[in-house]
Chain A
């Protein structure tokens, strides 16, 4: 198969790559660009571990083709912190021990960032439904919800 040339923006940087027409964005990020923060938990859009934000929309990168990223703006977990300053969500996940194994954490952080961008003051129920596309098997979600609640307060004050 002939490769497809793609020009896109990832975490604010211009990026160009060649990918196969059947290659997912997740595979491109992980295998071609070395951005392994997004994880493949299922490959079928059921677990949310590969969540990225594409043009302000939350997307499972395993369900999008690498070729479809042409001209888009993609945000991954690697772009959340500014230098050595963590994003408030990252900081609150640490403080609340909202991760145990941590494999789902990049996806949750991205999904929570998208949620708070659209709804800066969510109720507990809105957080629970907003993050229902992301699976965590370790925490029972309790500490994740609390971390997002706490981050929302910090981000409103900022």
Chain B
């Protein structure tokens, strides 16, 4: 059915209100079931043996002693996961990452797995597996890995994207380039040029729930998988392909998910659990420990970035250039490419050029982390923008306003912008009370902007109307932070009924058509579009049924505020039929009433935010406290404003952790030294102030209600905003994230010594 996704202005009844979420009571009473909260009769415990080496050839694995241990029901290695990827290089990388085939490529890489009757036996069995390693030289630093003498991680990789095919293999898998104009000429017109180099360390999404699943493979070739994931349909596809199953025979149910932030978009343990279950002939539960989550799931990239920006005396930027190097772990990625696309997206530039290099290192395979790649690029660019404003003697907000992208601007990564929020967020920041709050000694204020694309993608939704008039909404995008509430609001809005009359669930892969995963801030954007479409399809049927009940033409029936209304003078005495009244008669008027929707949600509106941050730096210890923080972001339309605020606050908090404290620390031996929450310290309650938010609503023209994704952009500005604040407080420019006390102290001391 034709669905028109274009925005039209309207007065909302439900959308924009703040009801209690439908999954709330289960979550405050402990009844909600997450990945590890599900059990099956006869279930075994799965455990994974991991490489202690950063880079090593696997000569031989002897599992005989483990197999002989009483209570062990299956032991698997890569041999139990044969290569069925049929030339698909990306899938082969996923397979190899799930279970190392010829080489262990990072500390924590899976090499074998067991299923046993209990955890104690499974742990014992792991100790009995003998792996004969030939340890190879390794590299974990992004800049070192690019050196020609660096240890080669994969000698079949020749850098893509160069003008000539290179003669020698390299750790650089790809070069990408974006931009327009002539930066050389542009810098020639500049009165001031600032050029700086930056580094950011690798961080983890830090979701509190470790990866967990229960796999049950039956001897008839069908299987069930219960798992915490951001995308159960994608997990089904990947697992089915890796295990040689038909997708329809693998039913994947997404549990409640205890945080993902991009980290639960890739399979790791799930194919292993399925292979164990297949071999043992029993259900297998596999739950990662926190140590495994840090060592062997998918953190974000470590980066090294050079930025050069030039401007005329009047504050007009004449040219901007950046070179971005991002680690992707030991497998190819497109992380630098994304960074190169986002780097200058906030600005209106005649001459801009960004170059990205994807770099292999002996670290876990990089996964998405909330607006992946954008925060590091924004840190480098927004720090340089701040310095340039200082050189020009301009206010940093005014300088950004002068150069901000607008509707019609050709973005640095190609497309021409529609209506966008960068200018309005900057104006809001300029006028915000935060900007006038007094600062004391050793305190500094910083601000920065951020951009994220937002994605749409394949979406399928069912809306079923019960005979009592209540509405079941089945969506296929996993609810990571309250989307069942926002989608129930949208269904209520469109049908003209009460929020409480709608019950939303996340359907399993056998009950609904394919959905892309909840990433790219698409959950509420795309599933609300599909929900609106499904509701409109249901309304068409409701109108037909009302017409039948009244025995008039459907053309004379309108849908208003949850009721069929007969139109025209000749039907003046017919009154109204409520949804409930029509539903009650459905058995006599043609059967169940439902609306379905299958669509590709195109037109996700780009998102912009500007953050303000005040910090206090202790010059004796280098320790930094965030004392005031404000997020201003465009939501397009905030469907459930409280959860939109929550996304803004959560992204800011993660950014604060990244900016000040969080980092993967590798020893010279290539082993991760801080694989736990004690040493990889994420912000705790006493580290943070209240985080103020301001929601702007610049409607997305490609969504009926104007909705844009809101989940990711909030992590883009904090690194830069805090770096600018720290630099203003400490009187020294910080170029290395995280700005941990030793780094700040070293910078202060270096400045003193001149």
Chain A residues close to B by CB (< 8 Å): 1, 20, 22, 27, 30, 35-44, 46-47, 49, 76-78, 80-81, 86, 90, 93-97, 99-106, 109, 125, 127-129, 131-145
Q: Are B209 and A39 in contact (CB under 8 A)?
A: yes
Closest Cβ neighbor of A36 among chain B residues: B37
Nearest CB of B to A106, in Å: 5
Q: Which residues of B have CB within 8 Å of A38? A: 30
State A43–B119 Cα separation when bound (angstroms): 14
Q: Which residues of A have CB within 8 Å of B676? A: 42, 44, 46
Which of B18, B24, B28, B684 is most buried by chain A, counting CB atoms within 10 A of its CB?
A: B28
State A148–B480 Cα separation when bound (angstroms): 23
Q: Is B481 an interface residue (CB 8 A)?
A: yes
> A41 with B646: in contact, given A90-B28, A97-B21, A103-B34 (CB under 8 Å)?
no
Q: Is B178 an interface residue (CB 8 A)?
A: no
Q: Are A43 and B290 in contact (CB under 8 A)?
A: yes
Interface residues of B in 112-152 (CB under 8 A from A): 119-120
Nearest CB of B to A14, in Å: 20
State A44–B210 Cα separation when bound (angstroms): 13
| Cβ contacts B257-284/A at 8 Å (1 or 0 each) | 1111100000000000000000000000
State A128–B691 Cα separation when bound (angstroms): 14
State A81–B649 Cα separation when bound (angstroms): 29
Q: Which residues of B have CB within 8 Å of A44? A: 290, 676-678
Nearest CB of B to A92, in Å: 10
> A102 with B677: in contact, given A94-B24, A145-B690 (CB under 8 Å)?
no
> Which of A35, A77, A81, A132 is in CB contact (< 8 Å) with B685?
A132
Smallest CB-CB A-B distances: 10 pairs: A37-B30, A103-B258, A140-B653, A102-B27, A140-B649, A46-B677, A100-B481, A77-B30, A90-B28, A36-B37
Q: Is B642 an interface residue (CB 8 A)?
A: yes
Nearest CB of B to A111, in Å: 10
Q: Is B643 an interface residue (CB 8 A)?
A: yes
Closest Cβ neighbor of A141 among chain B residues: B685
Q: Are A46 and B261 in contact (CB under 8 A)?
A: no
State A132–B687 Cα separation when bound (angstroms): 8
Q: Which residues of B have CB within 8 Å of A81? A: 29
Q: Are A101 and B480 in contact (CB under 8 A)?
A: yes
Chain B residues close to A by CB (< 8 Å): 18, 20-21, 23-25, 27-34, 36-37, 119-120, 205-210, 256-261, 287, 289-290, 480-482, 642-643, 645-647, 649-650, 652-654, 676-678, 682-688, 690-691
State A95–B480 Cα separation when bound (angstroms): 18
> Which of A27, A102, A105, A129 is in CB contact (< 8 Å) with B686?
A129
State A39–B257 Cα separation when bound (angstroms): 12
> What are 7 A-B interface contacts by the 8 Å CB criterion?
A37-B30, A100-B650, A103-B207, A104-B208, A104-B258, A128-B686, A128-B688
> A99 with B677: in contact, given A139-B653, A142-B649 (CB under 8 Å)?
no
Q: Are B482 and A47 in contact (CB under 8 A)?
A: no
Q: Which residues of A have CB within 8 Å of B683? A: 140-141
Q: Which residues of A have CB within 8 Å of B687? A: 132
Q: Are A41 and B685 in contact (CB under 8 A)?
A: no
Q: Which residues of B have CB within 8 Å of A43? A: 289-290
Q: Are A100 and B208 in contact (CB under 8 A)?
A: no
Q: Are B208 and A103 in contact (CB under 8 A)?
A: yes
- 6 new A-B contacts, CB < 8 A, other than A41-B677, A77-B30, A100-B647, are A39-B34, A105-B28, A133-B684, A137-B206, A137-B650, A145-B685
Q: Are B259 and A101 in contact (CB under 8 A)?
A: yes
Closest Cβ neighbor of A40 among chain B residues: B36
State A35–B261 Cα separation when bound (angstroms): 27
Q: Are B32 and A102 in contact (CB under 8 A)?
A: yes
Q: Are B208 and A137 in contact (CB under 8 A)?
A: yes
Q: Are A137 and B259 in contact (CB under 8 A)?
A: yes
Closest Cβ neighbor of B677 among chain A residues: A46
Which of A42, A86, A96, A134 is most buried by chain B, counting CB atoms within 10 A of its CB?
A: A42
> A141 with B688: in contact, given A47-B677, A101-B259 (CB under 8 Å)?
yes
> Which of A77, A78, A140 is in CB contact (< 8 Å) with B688?
A140
> Which of B28, B210, B480, B691 is in CB contact (< 8 Å) with A142?
B691
Q: Are B290 and A42 in contact (CB under 8 A)?
A: yes
State A105–B31 Cα separation when bound (angstroms): 11
Q: Which residues of B have CB within 8 Å of A78? A: 29-30
State A42–B23 Cα separation when bound (angstroms): 24
State A10–B28 Cα separation when bound (angstroms): 18
Q: Are A103 and B686 in contact (CB under 8 A)?
A: no
State A76–B24 Cα separation when bound (angstroms): 18
> A100 with B482: in contact, given A127-B685, A128-B685 (CB under 8 Å)?
yes
